[in-house]
Structure 1
Amino acid sequence: MGRAISAISGSAAGLLHRPFAGLGHATARFCRDLVRVMFHPYRPERHYMRGPGPACAAKRARLQN
């Protein structure tokens, strides 16, 4: 009788709601994404133009003359 109860209990345990079942996967995904963002080699703020370049200045000089 004891084995039958444990067998039923074991199979029924798989049907119970486990609210933290995916917590490990979610934590791992968060850490992986965080590391990817922190150490991503491309930083667009280092490459954007900070003002008009020499070609724009030459064009303006031609238009003003």
Structure 2
Amino acid sequence: MQGTVYTFETDSREGVVLLDDGSPVPFDAAAFDAGGMRFLRPGQRVRMTLDPAGGRVVLVTLHTLPDPLR
């Protein structure tokens, strides 16, 4: 699942990602820590992995685009 960071609070390390269909998905520090990141900025593209049982975000990672020169 992919989306764009809408908000990210550095103090709480929680935020909201807007999916490509416009749906908001909150995430917390546990999902953020699992991706090895320390902060995000609004507008960054991310990938999310959801827990199939509960539907909550368990992993947030930056979505990197392929290098157009390769």
TM-score by length of 1: 0.18
TM-score by length of 2: 0.17
Kindly indicate which of the two structures has a greater share of residues assigned to helix. 1
Give the structure with higher Rg (CA).
1
Q: Which has the higher contact order (CA 8 A, sep 6+)?
A: 2
Kindly indicate which of the two structures has a greater share of residues assigned to strand. 2
